[in-house]
Structure 1
């Protein structure tokens, strides 16, 4: 792999100061809005470009003879059901540190069965979208979700499970030098692309020292800055997105409806129970 000159990652640039190099990176509470807006605005441009890369099927990527990439092997149609099965398999086969008591095991088993049931009914793919007519929040807050759900066929997006602040490299001028570590990239449901980035606070929700509720409160404040930066980037983007609404609108509604946490918990088996 060719070396790219850089000053370090976005994670290192924005983390709170610490003399201990082993301290986990967490967004510096004192970082200026100007710095965040500048750096996040450039990342937003990258995400807008990535969101326009579409494929007709979900699955792993393989390189074709002409150098292009395509989905190889059996495509996934019922992706939420496949994720639900993965969570059940984890509970069955991971014997260390997953459950602490019989009641804990029972609760986690029931949660996974309910998740799989909703997936099989096709409800998870519409949760938090305009078509959501089954969830409690759709009844309690009618009209909260205005964006339509993505099509379940023919148009899926490139997704990197390891796309995060630590894998975005900067130049000395805080420009984007490179996006690295794409070994976990695949073609995923468009729903994943429509959620705001989980890495805005650098640290994950399930590892946040003050708990998920505090993470959510802190994230809510920073999300406003991210969405403002994304909206400015969208104004300068002329290429059609293929979406019926701006990406910033989808991301805002994802957070407001709780769709963000559905996708996050579905994708990350180690965060499922925390979320």
Structure 2
């Protein structure tokens, strides 16, 4: 069994190492808070993800890992224009943790009595609120990656798509009673479009920067996309990035070993 003190130590090392990145980006977010639209929101996320890519010293554990992360992050950035469906669209409240486990229901009437854990609620482009719910399989796609599984397990082995079809069929029945306002698409149609176009995965990757590489490679990458799909300047920066990440990793390991030794 892992030593909890040692695990806490390593987590502290990671947090300390990431703090300059967090501090800089908090300042940037505060400056842009009232002047951002959906397109700029995604471009800002992409910029933050690239900063994270360069800043976290222990993010890449080998030259091949650094090589692959660099390419997938830059290819993901090219998808913004494709998957940002309305650059003039509204910003809406969105709660990443809104799911059945956080809803209290009256066992007699089945009416909703309370909704819990709203601390993840924030203002985001409206397309996040019109994507299929990730919780239809009771666990998010990222939880499968943590267990060493692939996103194919989420979609196929745990039957996400049949559950999505069932969910949307029920929603369509409800929409017949309460139709969408004029010039607005029904939510069920927006969700189907999100899943079929893979915008669901784009949105999910945008919210899960630590898993962006796996999500991109498993669900978003075009078959022929490679380093040749990047511009000349980006391609030219690959070798320098790999070298920098290996130097960072060596320095990180040295610092952690020294701190661990001094901690006894």
TM-score by length of 2: 0.60
1:266 to 203, 206, 214: 206
- Structure 2: runs of 5 or more not aligned: 1-28, 216-264
**CA distance in structure 2 between the partners assigned to 1:94 and 1:161 by the alignment:** 24
1:203 to 117, 139, 146: 139
8 Å CA contact 2:106, 2:113 repeated in 1: yes
The higher relative CO (CA closer than 8 Å, separation ≥ 6) is in 1
Based on CA coordinates, which of the two structures has the bigger radius of gyration? 2
Match of 1:81 in 2: 43
2:185 to 228, 236, 245: 245
CA drift at 1:154: 5.6
Match of 1:114 in 2: 75
Is residue 213 of structure 1 aligned with residue 174 of structure 2? no
Mapping of 1:1-275 within 5 angstroms?
73-77=33-37, 78-96=40-58, 98-119=59-80, 122-125=81-84, 149-150=85-86, 152-153=87-88, 155-173=90-108, 174-208=110-144, 209=147, 210-217=149-156, 218-237=159-178, 240=181, 244-275=184-215
SS in 1 for 2:43: helix
Moved over 3 A (4+): none
**After superposition, what is the alpha-carbon deviation per residue over 1:70-116, rounded to whole angstroms, capped at 9, x for unaligned?**
xx9423220111111222222223334x3231111121112112222
User: What is the number of residues matched between the two proteins?
Assistant: 178
- Structure 1: runs of 5 or more not aligned: 1-58, 61-71, 126-148
Taking a change above 3 Å as real, the CA distance of residues 177 and 74 of structure 1, as seen in their structure-2 partners, is same
> Where is the helix percentage greater, Structure 1 or Structure 2?
2
**After superposition, what is the alpha-carbon deviation per residue over 1:208-230, rounded to whole angstroms, capped at 9, x for unaligned?**
25431021121111101110111
SS in 2 for 1:187: strand
**CA distance in structure 2 between the partners assigned to 1:261 and 1:239 by the alignment:** 25
**After superposition, what is the alpha-carbon deviation per residue over 1:22-46, rounded to whole angstroms, capped at 9, x for unaligned?**
xxxxxxxxxxxxxxxxxxxxxxxxx
**CA distance in structure 2 between the partners assigned to 1:243 and 1:264 by the alignment:** 27
Taking a change above 3 Å as real, the CA distance of residues 230 and 100 of structure 1, as seen in their structure-2 partners, is same
8 Å CA contact 2:96, 2:120 repeated in 1: yes
TM-score by length of 1: 0.58
8 Å CA contact 1:156, 1:187 repeated in 2: yes
8 Å CA contact 1:206, 1:274 repeated in 2: no
Match of 1:140 in 2: none
